[in-house]
Structure 1
Amino acid sequence: MSDRVFLVIVKGPKMNVSDADAVLTEMKELTGSANGVLVGETRANIPVPSPSHYIRGGKIEELRIATQETKANVLIFSVDLSPVQARNIENEIPWVRVVDRTGLILDIFARRAVSKDGKLQVELAQLQYLLPRLAGKGVIMSRLGGGIGTRGPGEQKLEVDRRKIRNRIEHIKGQIEKLSRHRALVREGRKQKRLRQIAIVGYTNAGKSTLLNALTGADAYVEDRLFATLDPKTRVREEKNESPILFTDTVGFIRDLPHGLVKAFHATLEEAVEADLVLIVVDAADELALEHKHVVDGVLKELGAESRPKLIALNKLDLLNDQQKARVMDLFPGACPISAVQKQGLRELVREARKLIELGEELKLSGHQNGDENNSGNR
């Protein structure tokens, strides 16, 4: 049975109405990706968060009434809450589970992970999120049980659970380190065979997996939901009279991607750091395309991949009219216009990618490699 979700969209002092609208849209999509049924929503103007509850007394009473009327059993906040704040809200509204933004994203990741590698990385992020929240009844945590957010253990088990979790975290870190070493060996083998690798990155739901399928004939899972793909998939594109190229699809990015998730998925995301080219897929039909590109740039910087050669693919051009196409091309000069669904512009995209890879290799040989000089679509 699906959870009945009531959303709380927090509007901070630096947010305008359009920012809050964008957050609401994204939170609705995240809720759907977690298989939640949205039964209501409210906005909360919070210039200064309350240390005890984040929101103030009047809003808490409003939520008590609203969740009763809508029969909501999960209250999801668009911001991250401290363990104390979440617990206090649950004490005030005892019939709901309180889940913050990071908890929601972790829930989705747990549902999407398929491979052993993906599951390990999600579990690491979950446990690191859970550990400071082990403080008694009403603990919010990610999907280690059923539903969006689950209850924690009783007080008598807390110390034992903390020890177990810390031990499990260290064990998983060791497993992920082995995974990272294995991936490094695989990459070294590819380099020795002179196989060039392109990492496909972008905001979640930008069409990365569809593009991988279109370029290589792969069968990567495609769904119109946020974080449909978690496990990286590498496939080869072979062309007559050209050397083969490996394309790797990666997990999608999102604004304020929890730092713990970035760290946990570093073994997977390092494919972008080590690639010969980073192919940034932008949903050209999204009004927030430019903002999403900035989010991707920020995550790449956090990963240490900001200096890699880059190319922007403006995807979903088939959804735009001529005037809209011209406007978005002005926003991203030097980018390659494509439609992964219609398989339009792919030859030109690959041709430009090959040129940038060759340019990067020439700069390496000359000893003057400069990431900013290599970047197409960022000029």
Structure 2
Amino acid sequence: PISFPIYFLIVYCFMKPFERLNQEQMASNETLSSSIIEDINGIETIKSLTSEKTSYQKIDREFVDYLKKSFAHQKSEAIQNSIKQATQLIINVLVLWLGAKLVISNQISVGQLVTYNALLGYFTEPFQNIINLQAKLQTATVANQRLNKVYLVKSEFKKSESQELHHNNPHNIIVDDVSYQYGYQKNILHHFSIKIPFGEKIALVGVSGSGKSTLAKLLVHFISPSAGNIFIGEQNIKHVQRQNLRQHILYLPQNPYIFTGSILDNLTLGARENTTQEDILKAVELADSKDDIENMPQSYQTEISEEGGMSGGQKQRIALARALLSNSQILILDESTSNLDVATEKKIIDNLLSLKNKTIIFIAHRLTIAEKVQRVILLEKGIISEDGSHAELIHKKSKYYHLVKY
């Protein structure tokens, strides 16, 4: 019984240091792993800039830091184990010393002392095994806390979003007095309002940072407005289920992700259930990707991945065909043809503009797209600077005119 408080004190004294050292070791390991992955993904840039030495030195410093943190953790465990073993040895010596005195004074026999010492070992060994779990339990606790930072992130889906978009209603887009800011920064959009009738083909143009991509992400509810409302038809999107909303509005970023698998798997990802072979062929023709795919070693069964197998332009066309195979009535294309040559881009844009019963919003820096659409909206510092057809805005000889001219 006397050993209980001693062991408890040893465990208690090392609780805070173990927690701190575990946190530091795992954080250092995370930094090291992230740097290695980042350098592997950016190896072409590193080679182009001849910065191999700098990158190696950075990882070397982080690796040394991780080794130091790991060594400090192992050192603390070793010190605690040494203290526990020393405590056990002292207790055993004290028991034998007191027992020997009792034997000399004929209060107990030698056999009784040997028996008591054996029973003491059977009792203290399991107790010490339990205490030895402290370091492992604390490591597991810290690891669990770090995992929970990811797994316990609040879901983007909310109970208040219970509505579904009506299929039969025309999906006009109405942005009503919307403002948005990232964190505590200035507003990216300022009291922004616009109406886009169903089936219209428009181009959002403007310098970088004018709010074009932010508006696109608001429309698919990746982010929520700081103020104002967005309506699809007559329904406010803040009450619409996000998955249902994204079945009607599809956002295609400039750098789409290609998943490891066959071309066919990538094309049919997110496609409607009744997609036929004819639908697939039509989509790849509209995206001008049919010849590229059929010239590949295994045609539609060719294995591709994000890391290799296709050029940037080919990836964009695969992603565009994938978007066309979805059931979305509204397409938002955020620089989705930026990696294509002018001739291929012109052909694809013409194909997209020929589609009926689809609203298409082009976010573009190339003003050749703006020349073809029905309506051009020029954004400047989060507000609409000009709105009209390409010909009308050129005739006004204002900001859009100068943007085209230069």
Q: TM-score, normalised by structure 2?
A: 0.25
Indicate the structure (1 or 2) with the bigger Cα radius of gyration. Answer: 2
Indicate the structure with greater helix content.
2
Q: TM-score, normalised by structure 1?
A: 0.27
Higher relative contact order, structure no. (Cα contacts within 8 Å, ≥ 6 residues apart)? 2
